[in-house]
Structure 1
Amino acid sequence: MTESSLRIAFLASSRFPIRQPFAGGLESHVWYLARALAADGHRVTLFAGPGSDPALGCTDLEVRTLELSAVARADASMPSMQFMTEHHAYLQLMLDLGGRLADAFDVIHNHSLHYLPVAMAATVSTPILCTLHTPPTPWLESALAVSRGQGAHFAAVSAHTAASWQHVVGELEVIPNGVDLADWPIGEGGNRLIWFGRLVPEKGAHLAITAARRAGFPLVLAGPISDTDYFERSIRPLLNRDVVYLGHLAQPALAAAIGRSAAALVTPVWDEPYGLVVAEALACGTPVAAIARGGIPEVLTLDCGRLVPPDDLDALVAAIPQTVALSRAAARARAAAHCSERTMVDAYVNTYRRLIRQPVHGKPFRLDGVR
């Protein structure tokens, strides 16, 4: 290893490849971070679903498949096949990282939501950084309760997410997600609104449709249909010439659609750990009207958007014309100041180097309240 070049393993979802169009914000984040690190001369290796983007310049770690016998499948303890497939993939990966790949990497960056990279971190001699992309989950809390965080280090994507994990890991570093401004160019705006993201109930696209209609603005939607029942029940019946679903767009087409919109609506009905769609909209110069949940208030300011209380649709409707009137230049400036990919990459590299210099298995975390 030289000071200028690191060998970095990225652990992502074993189901989804790191390629466009992205399955979700986590895959988008990993793609951009891996690309930026590779462009800086670091050697990045991905563990993700088969078929990740070869243009990233990264190598792949094999996702091991599972073939269970008929007897095992018929056992009363057999969980879903998806659970078993993911369990098998991460179990094999962690055993490999502690065995045949023990000297292959300088640092391991875990972006997965699976419990085994945390539970088995102490079996790996390479430093492991776990970015917390979500609120606490029962599986990860269980892994931490058993392992006491031994062998792993943690960072959160927002102060809100850090606070939600404080009862588990105590104080931890915050490294906000960043966007590449070159890939999200400022657009001219337009007369319509846009909502984009995964089409699932917790993202609240149905609220955006209702608010746009009441405010008198046409709306376009973009993103993967991650919950078919929700889409067919709550979204498709509302589509017409003023509410149009554009599909699951690759990033360049998505950026163009955002740039042609007067404002973006962000309508979560859960606490967003960060709110990457807010950063992407601002980068395109598109002001944002958002429900103030999770980490979103850390990104959005009065000069580039409006925040409304949860469960207050009237406030969201009233905020739309105010948001449309905001400066597109101010939105872009906020993205450059707060959501810079360069700042994010440099913060991660500094953290990698600090972990490499430290003993791998230091004192365990104090897990107040977790038994």
Structure 2
Amino acid sequence: MRIALLAHARQPIAQPFMGGMESHSWYLADGLMARGHDVVLFAAGDSDPRFAIDPVVDEHYERTFPWAEHRGSAPLIAHLDAGYAAACDRIAEGGFDVVHNNSLHRFAIEPRRTAVVPTVTSLHVPPYDALHWFVKASATPGHHLTVTSERQMAAWWPDGAPPRASVLHNGIDPAAWPFVATGDGSAVWCGRITPNKGTHLAVAAARMAGVPLTLFGQIEDPDYWHAQVEPLLGGDIRYGGHLHGAALAAEMGRASVFLFTPCWDEPFGLVAIEAMACGLPVAALDMGAAREVIGEAGRFAPANDGAALAEAIGAAMAIPPHVPRDRVDRLFTRDRWLDACEALYHQVQPVPA
């Protein structure tokens, strides 16, 4: 199939990934290409050049509009509207069989556009005002919506989902996250370092539990980092940087437990299954889809409760490493995910007359 993959343009679709959305788009493009599809990635122009890139904007907008300035910014909205309007027009004229839309932009889901090129839209976030009503108005025979968890499905459609909406769990390549049967007794945390990811709670819990902790990820919110995280570093608590996948997998494999600390209605938690593939049980705050995704591979604490999370660390470390790995192999592999994507692409194709 000829597939247009329309990505979010906040960050480049390239390693090291800034977050789950960038990882999702990169691995989707890579996996579909490996299966013989003709894939064009519509994304920021500074994304990974291994892909055929048709730029939505010349460079990712975090560079053009720094994080502290772009929330609600009229110039940014106009910049993105122009980029996505032109990209959607090129898709309509490009002979594509299907669009996989990861953009979180309203233009891609307009019925007049999905009537031209069948579209699968993956929603990676809880409902929010700027997109919520456009999603509800987007139901057409040529448009299928996916969410990453049952929890997210209920958040978007509390009164029941439309027929053309389904749960599509994220998937990873287990070979890229090698299983390690024994760890060194330490904990690891990974993600965007920003308040809604709860980095400070991971540090507090590790200190209470007396467990060494290494943090990995992009410092997205410098003010939060300097005020609430950096002062807590030292001794057995350190920052390990923002790493490419292979280096991050090696670091995870050395540890014995993963800390997952969402402070928002987390739709999935891709970093959790990456850690689980390495054999790490998870000590998690029970927010969003955490329990749904982690299941028997973790132990849970109430939201925002660092003391309870400290207790969960010890309980999680008693879980045998094969339990998290087996859960990933059973539910969250890349092949399972790509099979489901291909099935959806065929499902939205028009029925021959």
Corresponding residue number in structure 1 for 2:65 = none
Aligned match of 1:105 in 96, 99, 105? 96
Corresponding residue number in structure 2 for 1:366 = none
Write the distance in 1 (CA, Å) between the matches of 2:149 and 2:239: 30
Write the distance in 2 (CA, Å) between the matches of 1:317 and 1:254: 23
Deviation at 1:65, TM superposition (A): 5.7
Corresponding residue number in structure 1 for 2:3 = 8
Deviation at 1:124, TM superposition (A): 5.0
User: TM (normalized to structure 1)?
Assistant: 0.86
Aligned match of 1:31 in 21, 26, 30? 26
Aligned match of 1:130 in 106, 121, 128? 121
Any gaps of 5 or more consecutive residues in structure 1? Answer: 1-5, 67-77, 360-371
Residues 82-108 of structure 1 deviation map (CA, whole Å, 9 limit, x = unaligned): 22211111111122223x32xx21100
Amino acid at match of 1:110: N
**Secondary structure in 2 matching 1:21:** coil
Amino acid at match of 2:102: H
Q: Does 1:161 align with 2:152?
A: yes
Residues 176-208 of structure 1 deviation map (CA, whole Å, 9 limit, x = unaligned): 000100101112421210010000100000000
Residues 118-141 of structure 1 deviation map (CA, whole Å, 9 limit, x = unaligned): 236546511011011111111112
Any gaps of 5 or more consecutive residues in structure 2? Answer: 60-71
Write the distance in 2 (CA, Å) between the matches of 1:335 and 1:128: 28
Q: Which runs of 4+ in 1 moved over 4 A?
A: none
Write the distance in 1 (CA, Å) between the matches of 2:236 and 2:331: 33
Corresponding residue number in structure 2 for 1:142 = 133
Superposed counterparts of 1:75-94, under 5 Å: 79-94=73-88
Deviation at 1:353, TM superposition (A): 0.8
State how many pairs are aligned. Answer: 336
Residues 208-263 of structure 1 deviation map (CA, whole Å, 9 limit, x = unaligned): 00000000011100000111111111111111131110111111111111111110
Q: Does 1:46 align with 2:41?
A: yes
State whether residues 286 and 302 of structure 2, in contact with CA within 8 Å, keep that contact through their aligned partners in structure 1.
yes
Write the distance in 1 (CA, Å) between the matches of 2:55 and 2:23: 20
Write the distance in 2 (CA, Å) between the matches of 1:79 and 1:30: 25
Amino acid at match of 1:20: Q
Superposed counterparts of 1:1-371, under 5 Å: 6-55=1-50, 58-64=51-57, 79-98=73-92, 100-101=93-94, 104-119=95-110, 121-122=112-113, 125-144=116-135, 147-150=137-140, 151-167=142-158, 170-171=162-163, 172-187=165-180, 188-302=182-296, 304-358=297-351
Deviation at 1:114, TM superposition (A): 1.6
Amino acid at match of 1:314: A
State whether residues 121 and 128 of structure 1, in contact with CA within 8 Å, keep that contact through their aligned partners in structure 2.
no
Deviation at 1:308, TM superposition (A): 1.8
Write the distance in 1 (CA, Å) between the matches of 2:324 and 2:134: 40
Write the distance in 1 (CA, Å) between the matches of 2:87 and 2:306: 46
Deviation at 1:12, TM superposition (A): 0.6
Write the distance in 2 (CA, Å) between the matches of 1:54 and 1:126: 25
State whether residues 145 and 166 of structure 2, in contact with CA within 8 Å, keep that contact through their aligned partners in structure 1.
yes
Write the distance in 2 (CA, Å) between the matches of 1:207 and 1:52: 32
Pick closer, same or farther for the CA change 1:64–1:254 going to 2, 3 Å.
closer
Write the distance in 2 (CA, Å) between the matches of 1:59 and 1:154: 25
Deviation at 1:15, TM superposition (A): 3.2
Tell me how large the CA RMSD over aligned residues is: 2.0
Deviation at 1:167, TM superposition (A): 4.7
State whether residues 170 and 270 of structure 2, in contact with CA within 8 Å, keep that contact through their aligned partners in structure 1.
yes
Write the distance in 1 (CA, Å) between the matches of 2:2 and 2:303: 43
Structure index of larger Rg: 1
